[in-house]
Structures are given as C-alpha cells and as structure tokens.
Amino acid sequence: MLNITIRQLKVFEAVARHLSYTKAAESLYLSQPATSMQIKQLEEVVGIPLFEQFGKKIYLTDAGKEFQHYSHIILQQLNDAESMFANLKGMHGKLTICVASTAGYFTPQLLAEFCKHHTKAQVSLNVTNREKLLSLLAHNEMDMAIMGRPPEGHDLEAVSFMDNPLVIIAPINHPLAHDSNIPMVRLAQETFLVREQGSGTRIAMERYFSEREIALTTGTEMSTNEAIKQAVQAGMGLGILSQNTIQLELETNRLTVLDVEYFPIQRHWYVVHRKGKRLSRIAEAFKEFLLGNSEAKAKVSQSA
C-alpha cells in the first residue's frame, strides 16, 4: 500500500489547487520550505514527479492530475468522518457556511435566530462571490453554501428556501422615478452599473435582458453591492440588485425602485452542498431551519 501521510496529501491538494508553493504554504500555515519538502517526500514515495516547473510557474504532471482526483476523494472522506464524529458528539460542532455576497445581507440575521436555539454551535461564515463558492464547494471546504441556483453538472444538491427578487434601482430624482409600468425597451436608453464577472446577480441580469433581446448599456463594473448603490445615488447610472440589499436606502429615501414591466426578476436562494455529503447534526439542523422557519425568513426579507 502507498505509504503516504495525510499531511502530505493535504499539502499536495493545496499546492495542486494554488499551483504555487507560497500560496499553498500560506493557506496551510506552513513555511514554504516545509511545503516543498512534503511534496518532495511524497514524490519519492510514489516514485514519479507530480509537479513540473517552467520558469517561475509550476504545473501538475499527468500523474499529478490523476492523483489530484484521488486526493479529493480521500480528503472528502476524511471530512465526512470528522462530521460523523461531530454528529455523535451532538450539537456542539462547528458549522461552516459560505454565502454569496448578496446573501451576506440576511444570513447573519438567520444565523442569529438559529443560534438562539443552538447556543453551543460554533459558526464560521464566509462571504464571497458565486464563482469562488462553486470552487469551495468542489473542494468540500464547507458544510453548505447559500447562493442562487447552482449550475447543473457539479454534483451538488440544491434546495430553494427563499425568494430573491432583483429590482432596478435609481436615484430618487431620476426622470423615470414616478412612472409606472415602464416598458423594458426604454431601459436601452439608460446606462447600468454592473457587478463583477462571476456574480450571480450579474449573470441573472444579463440572461434576462438577452432572453428579451434588449441590449443593455453597461457602465462601470463594481465588485460589491454597496459600491453600486453609492454610484447609483451619485447619478452614475442605474443598477440591478437584489431587493434583499436595499432596505436601508429605501427607508432613508436615498434610492428608489423603478416600476418596470416584467420586473422584478424572480430568483431564489438555495441551500447547497455536495451530493451525498454526510451533514453533521448541526449542519442538518441549520438546513432544516432554513427550509422550515418561515417566520424568521419573513422577518429577514422584510428587514432585508
């Protein structure tokens, strides 16, 4: 049997993912020489190079690519075993949740409600964009994610639990601010500020307009909902954002939502994890909470 250690496997997985010894070392809190040494020893045991170096860059060899597949499976099984032990120990476990930037507006409130009943849960919340979420899911680096509907073919289980309407926001003095049922084609005359590539909001908005064959003029790209709201208030253009993100600005009369035909875009929030993942009891409890607790959800979608 291959005489390799779990540590070597973890180091291999990190170096293969980052294709950089420095970044892998950082992510593992190891020194760079220790990281390279682990790889060297692993290559000695397997008897074939797993990485090759050209100039400053490193690449996986064919053997490395094949081995990456096995290392994912082995590490995933180990994670599952860890969840199983946490399960047997009860609801004291760690709950690691990663959410899309937009879901960061309401998830903390849901977690707060959940933690009232699960006081021993140790929650870790990571807010990032959709693309990064898919990569974290692929590497089994969390219990579950909250995001828009994930794409097919990623071996993921996704259940929708809450509405996510996308609306068009404008400064309060915009000429269309008081119009009703504005024809969608009228929007072709406006400039839109858009979220970064990889954002779920951006993908949904582009798809919606292209399905209706309306060409959008897009202006500056911004990587946060906050920046878009500020830019819209400052008159740089219109924005399309989740209703979940603008409650404060509506209440304080800093932004308005335009009444446009076929709007809002009706999206949903999904709780997502890898297919067949054995959720810990605490993760299972949180999933049930999300799917069932309509009172808490109604509260956050009103206040969000």
Q: Give the residue, chosen from 35, 107, 140, 199, that forms a contact with ligand PGA under the rule CB under 6 A.
A: 199
Give me the torsion for CA of 150, 66, 142, 124, rounded to 10°. Answer: -130
Q: Give the residue, chosen from 148, 168, 193, 208, that forms a contact with ligand PGA under the rule CB under 6 A.
A: 148
Q: Give the residue, chosen from 200, 244, 279, 300, that forms a contact with ligand PGA under the rule CB under 6 A.
A: 200
d(CA 157, CA 276): 8
Tokens encoding 28: 């593992």
Give Cα separations from 152 to 68, 157, 274 (angstroms).
Answer: 22, 10, 12
H/E segment holding residue 59 = strand 57-60
Give Cα separations from 144 to 258, 283, 287 (angstroms).
Answer: 34, 8, 8
Shortest approach of ligand PGA to residue 249 CB, angstroms? Answer: 17
Q: Give the residue, chosen from 17, 195, 274, 277, that forms a contact with ligand PGA under the rule CB under 6 A.
A: 195
d(CA 138, CA 156): 9
User: Mind spelling out the 3-state secondary structure of 233-265?
Assistant: HCCCCEEEEEHHHCHHHHHCCCEEECCECCCCE
Shortest approach of ligand PGA to residue 228 CB, angstroms? Answer: 10
Of the ranges 22-30, 154-162, 196-204, 283-291, which one interacts with ligand PGA (CB under 6 A)? 196-204
Of the ranges 79-87, 115-123, 179-187, 197-205, which one interacts with ligand PGA (CB under 6 A)? 197-205
Shortest approach of ligand PGA to residue 198 CB, angstroms? Answer: 7
Of the ranges 49-57, 59-67, 98-106, 108-116, which one interacts with ligand PGA (CB under 6 A)? 98-106
Residue 41 or 223: the one with the smaller Cβ distance to ligand PGA is 223
| Residue of minimal Cβ distance to ligand PGA | 200
Q: Which residues bind ligand PGA (CB under 6 A)?
A: 100-102, 129-130, 147-148, 195, 199-201, 267
